[in-house]
Chains A and B, each alone.
Chain A
Amino acid sequence: MKAVAVASLADELTTTLLAARNSDGGWPYYKGKASRLEPTCAALLALGTPAMAGEAPGSLDVSPLDRWQRRAGLFVDAAGEVNLAFNGLAAIALASSVRPSMAADLTAALTQSRGIRIPPSAINRQDDTIQAWPWSEGTFSWVEPTAWCLLGLKRLTRVPRPPQVLRRIDDGERLLADRACRQGGWNHGNSNMLGTELPPYVPPTAIALLALHDVAGAPHVTRALQYLEANQQAEAGGLALSLACVCLTVYSRPCEQARSALDTQWRRSRFLDNLHVAALALYAATAEGHRCEAFRV
């Protein structure tokens, strides 16, 4: 019965995504709106990856990105703003395609981008000298953009990596280690505030774990994975459940609870019609076929 439900979920999500694609080839967050970088990359991965099973790496169709506006190697999103987190996701999509020039430009841009350095904090227990990746240029670093950019950079480059890339990977890994919550996992950025320990959330924890899969033996990674396994269905929303599924699949951990909850949540709310979430959910629902290869380092 469960297999039938998942197949049905995948079919419905595929139909939903195909029906909402814009004429420029991209996807909006909500049907009828302008194409945006994040849902477009997520939809390309979700719709393209199942077809890749058994095919040679590099076969993902990312043609909508060919026409996407870029600035200094970075993809530009709404209102001319650059969101670095979503460029990290674009890097993950590009790493599964054959776009060497675009990939090289994005690798260089992600290597050069960094959060600002701010004075030591008097209200947090954290190292504010670490400059990883911010959401937008000129601001300070947070967990989610750092994790996406770190994962993107690892996916776009191969060992032996150039020294400048290795330094940025080290920055990203140090920030994630520094911001890990005491109980395991990650909040948005601060692990504590004004003397209070902050709780981890599923989405940033799953994304950070994906970025740290190649250092899985580190204690903070182990604690985070334990947290995620135990809380894989604690946040009843398509975003959290999808990311939990993808992450646990990459770590070869069971994720039936999250996958089942994903189906339930779709039946209840249709993810509020959010196409980015629908794309992630489709990727998660079809994980048995593609094993989430696009997110592995």
Chain B
Amino acid sequence: MRRPLKAIDAKRSVSEGSSLSRRDLLKALPAAGLAVAGACRRAPLPYDPARFLHSASSDVAILPATSYDVDLADMVGRGLRLLNVDVRGKRVLLKPNLVEFERGRVINTHPSLVAGAAEALRRAGAGRVVVAEGPGHRRDIEYLVTGTGLFDALRDVGVAFVDLNHDDVRRVPLKTRFMSLPDLALPVAVLDADLIVSMPKLKTHHWTGMTASLKNLFGVVPGAVYGWPKNLLHFRGIENSILDLASTIRPRLAIVDAIVGMEGDGPIMGHAKPVGAVVMGDDLVSVDATCARLMGLKPALLGYLRQAGEFLGNLPAASIHQRGEPLSRFATRFEVPPAFKALQGSDG
């Protein structure tokens, strides 16, 4: 579906356009986010707005799934149709969130959803589907892939796994300058894919408040080049890194595992929070904004998401067309780390 393109006024400062005052933001954002926001206000825009024209509204589908035992391939297929996503002949790379394995903890995107998505994309005509991840927390990816059950799930559906931490790399210029870096070495599997699908687990995050489809992109940065736990990105600022990666890689689809999310001390030490939904969309900013609202958080108070909403996608609820189930059916309140209490609430 084609919609009018939304142009960004290059003269407008990053903070304008938000109904929040600077004082509100200062109260709400934790120290890590403040450094980023403050720096960006003083500096010129770290991107060329003309390169980031996008539709003035976005579709986000919320699909019910009471457990991982339902037919997830069928459900994702329904989402693809609701969103009019054309994958025919495309080389598709699914990027789940695979961080850590602890039996009984719900840290990672569930293997059944990953396998289901792969199956749905193949049924929809994708040319080739691979699952790829470069964990930033653990170096022994085999331990994660076999321990979590992803190895068996992918073998069952005949889908290959690509280790992004150790793939060949190419140096590519970054399309934004939040990290003040000209370029990054990125895996060829990512660079050569026609369609990158971010498949995060919906979780709270003790540095960024929440993690969904945008933060999930950390995993494409090759550890064998930049270290563990993605040393360079933490050094340059997590929120800056998220923005540069999202703007450069530009995934065109997100499938969020919110069947069971994580609340509390995420992204690893928190506890299970059943939501019973899968969130899908082709605008990752809108998907993450919808996820924030599902969690009972105000999207505009999440530093990187607010900035992404200025140039990369649509943040306001009024700009998001909800498909599938209404958001209100699944809206809940995630327990968040203490530093992020001010993020809780409705943005109307």
Residues of chain A touching chain B, judged by Cβ–Cβ distance below 8 Å, are: 28-30, 33-34, 36, 38, 77-81, 83, 85-86, 134-136, 139-140, 142, 144-145, 188-189, 194, 196, 201-203, 235-240, 265, 268-269, 271-272, 274, 276-277
A202 to B151, CA, bound (A): 21
A30–B169 Cα distance when bound, in Å, is 13
Specify which chain B residues have a CB less than 8 angstroms from the CB of A79 in the assembled complex. 169-171, 185, 225
Pair B227/A135 contact, Cβ less than 8 Å: yes
The one of A30, A188, A203, A269 in contact with B151, judged by C-beta atoms closer than 8 angstroms, is A269
Q: Which of B163, B166, B232 contacts A139 (CB 8 A)?
A: B232
B145 in the interface (beta carbon within 8 A): yes
Per-position binary interface string of chain B over residues 139-154, scored 1 when its CB falls under 8 Å from any chain A CB and 0 otherwise: 1111111110001000
Complex partner residue of B146 from A140, A188, A196, A236, CB under 8 angstroms = A236
B168 CB within 8 Å of chain A: yes
Q: Evaluate contact between B151 and A139: CB separation under 8 angstroms.
A: no
Which residues of A sit under 8 angstroms from B224, Cβ to Cβ?
A: 29, 36, 38, 77-78, 83, 86
Cβ–Cβ contact A136 & B141, under 8 A: no
Return chain B residues, CB-CB under 8 Å to A196. 265, 269
- B185-224 vs A: 1/0 string, CB under 8 Å? 1000000000000000000001000000000000000101
Residue B330, interface by CB 8 Å: no
Q: Does B52 make an interface contact (CB < 8 A)?
A: no
Offer 29 A-B interface pairs, CB within 8 angstroms, sorted by A. A29-B163, A29-B166, A30-B166, A33-B167, A78-B168, A79-B170, A79-B225, A81-B225, A83-B224, A135-B231, A136-B225, A136-B226, A142-B231, A144-B227, A188-B137, A188-B229, A196-B265, A196-B269, A235-B140, A236-B143, A237-B141, A237-B142, A237-B143, A238-B140, A239-B142, A240-B140, A268-B146, A272-B145, A274-B163
Between B140, B167, B168, B170, the greatest number of chain A beta carbons within 10 A of the residue's beta carbon is seen for B140
A134 B231 Cβ-Cβ under 8 A: yes
CB <8 Å contact, A135 and B265: no
A30 to B187, CA, bound (A): 13
A276 and B228 within 8 A (CB): no
Tell me, yes or no, whether B177 is within 8 Å of chain A by CB: no
- Closest chain-A Cβ to B238's Cβ sits at a distance in Å of 13
Partner-A contacts on B (CB < 8 A): 137-147, 151, 161, 163, 166-171, 185, 206, 222, 224-229, 231-232, 235, 265, 269, 337
**What's the minimum C-beta distance from A201 to chain B, rounded to whole angstroms?**
7
Distance (whole angstroms) from the CB of A172 to the closest CB of chain B: 16
Q: How far is the CA of A189 from the CA of B230 in the complex (A)?
A: 12
Count, A-B residue pairs, CB within 8 A: 114
- The residue in chain A whose Cβ has the minimal distance to the Cβ of B222 is A78
Q: Which residues in B have their C-beta under 8 angstroms from that of A271?
A: 142
Report the separation of the CA atoms of residues A238 and B269 in the bound assembly, to the nearest whole angstrom.
25
Residues of B within 8 A of A81 (CB): 185, 225-226
Residues of chain B with a CB closer than 8 A to A194's CB: 206, 265, 337
Known contacts A237-B146, A268-B146: A142-B151 contact under CB 8 Å:
no
Task: List B contacts of A33 (CB < 8 A).
Answer: 167-168
Partner of A274, one of B151, B166, B170, B269: B166
Contact yes or no, B163 A78, CB < 8 A: no
Tell me the minimal C-beta distance from B303 to chain A in angstroms: 17
Report the separation of the CA atoms of residues A272 and B137 in the bound assembly, to the nearest whole angstrom.
18
Taking CB atoms, residues of chain B closer than 8 Å to A188 are 137, 228-229
CB distance from B315 to the nearest CB of A (A): 28
Residues in A with CB closer than 8 Å to B144 are 237
Please name all residues of chain A whose beta carbon is closer than 8 Å to the beta carbon of B170 when the two chains form the complex.
Answer: 79
Q: Within the complex, which residue of B138, B163, B168, B231 is in contact with A272, where a contact is CB–CB below 8 Å?
A: B163
Q: How far is the CA of A144 from the CA of B224 in the complex (A)?
A: 12
Inter-chain CA distance A134–B166, complex, in Å, is 18
Which of B143, B167, B337 has most chain A Cβ within 10 Å?
B143
- Least CB distance, A93 to chain B, in whole angstroms: 17
Q: Which residue of B lies closest to A240 (CB)?
A: B140
Assess whether B225 is in contact with A30, with CB atoms less than 8 Å apart. no
Q: List 17 additional A-B contacts (Cβ < 8 Å) besides A135-B232, A139-B231, A272-B141.
A: A77-B225, A79-B171, A134-B231, A135-B226, A136-B225, A136-B226, A136-B227, A140-B235, A145-B227, A189-B229, A203-B140, A236-B146, A237-B143, A239-B140, A240-B140, A265-B142, A269-B142
> Complex: how many Å from CA A268 to CA B226?
30
Q: Which residues of A lie under 8 Å from residue B231 when comparing CB positions?
A: 134-136, 139-140, 142
A269 touches B235 (CB 8 A): no
Cα of A136 to Cα of B234 in the assembled complex, Å = 13
Do A277 and B142 have beta carbons less than 8 Å apart? yes
Which listed residue, A29, A80, A139, A202, touches B235 by the CB 8 Å rule?
A139
Question: Cα distance A265–B167 when bound, in Å?
Answer: 22
Contact B166 A135 (CB under 8 A): no
In the assembled complex, the Cα of A140 lies from the Cα of B229 at a distance in Å of 12
Give, as a whole number of angstroms, the nearest-CB distance from B32 to chain A: 10
